[in-house]
């Protein structure tokens, strides 16, 4: 089978694990919007604090949901724009796949700037584009690189690494793979053998185009990964 359209999460997780290793051992890291703390396993060398608003429970009537969600492991339950910690009290903040769920993402960056010590670290990932998920807590479809390049310096962060995850063809392939589920849910249609064959051929086309890609991520990608330092 083709791998095109399947690497969104795996590439992101690999980047997060690798980037967390750049943060020196013994420092305090705040996982802002931690959810179920899926990346705590990569933070064994750090003093880990999990924060989240704690109101999502995995279920809803609209869009995609996880079915279950465990908020029991949070250290801090608060709004992400008003975290009850003193100024300059953490060495690093990680915030992964959260910005689209914040009504005011710029306010979150402002809060991160308040909390991170000078010289400290900020690790961010968020979708470039996303379909509705975790509703009603889904306030933006995504963020491109210019969002970070504008707002992070405004709040005292210097970007050290910015990666675009995937490309136009990979994103189209991801959504092509989702058609079977969406057809059943929203059209009440089970794809025929012919339709599945067409889908298979289209994925083959997209894989070939992705292999020859020369920069389509400037138009569309899965998401953006950013590592920055506080000035």
Closest CA to 53 of 66, 38, 34: 34
In this prediction, residue 224 carries a pLDDT of 98
- The answer to whether residues 44 and 110 belong to one domain is yes
Same domain for 54 and 152, yes or no, is: yes
Write the DSSP assignment of 88-100 as a string of letters: T-EEEEEEES-GG
pLDDT in tens, 35-74: 999 999 999 999 999 999 999 999 999 999 999 999 999 9
125 inside domain: yes
Structural domain tally of the chain? 2
Residues 56 and 84 in one domain: yes
Same domain, 73 and 106: yes
Q: Are 111 and 82 in contact (CB under 8 A)?
A: yes
Please check whether residues 158 and 174 belong to one and the same domain. Answer: no
User: Would you say residue 198 lies in a domain?
Assistant: yes
pTM score: 0.96
Mean pLDDT (whole number) for 135-140 = 98
Any domain includes 2: no
Q: Same domain for 52 and 149?
A: yes
**DSSP-derived 3-state class of residue 225:** strand
Confidence of residue 1 (pLDDT cuts 50, 70, 90): confident
Same domain, 98 and 189: no
Domain, as residue range, for 25: 7-167+218-230
């Amino acid at each position: 089978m083709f791998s095109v359209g399947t690497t969104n999460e795996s590439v992101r997780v690999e980047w997060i694990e690798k980037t967390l290793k750049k943060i020196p051992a013994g420092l305090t890291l705040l996982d802002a919007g931690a959810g179920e703390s899926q990346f705590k396993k990569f933070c064994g060398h750090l003093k880990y604090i999990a924060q989240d608003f704690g109101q999502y429970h995995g279920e809803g009537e609209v869009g995609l949901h996880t079915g279950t969600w465990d908020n029991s492991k949070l250290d801090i339950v608060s709004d992400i724009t008003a975290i009850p910690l003193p100024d300059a009290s953490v060495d690093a903040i990680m915030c992964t796949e959260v910005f689209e769920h914040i009504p005011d993402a710029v306010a979150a960056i402002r809060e991160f700037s308040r909390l991170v010590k000078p010289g400290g670290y900020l690790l961010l990932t968020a979708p470039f584009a996303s379909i509705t998920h975790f509703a009603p807590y889904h306030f933006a479809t995504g963020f491109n690189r210019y969002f970070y390049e504008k707002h992070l310096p405004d709040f005292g962060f210097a970007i050290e690494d910015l990666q675009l995850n995937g490309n136009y063809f990979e994103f189209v392939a991801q959504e092509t793979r989702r058609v079977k589920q969406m057809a059943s849910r929203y059209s009440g249609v089970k794809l025929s053998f012919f339709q599945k064959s067409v889908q298979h051929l289209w994925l083959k086309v997209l894989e070939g185009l992705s292999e020859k890609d020369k920069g389509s991520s400037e138009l569309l990608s899965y998401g953006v990964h950013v590592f920055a330092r506080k000035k």
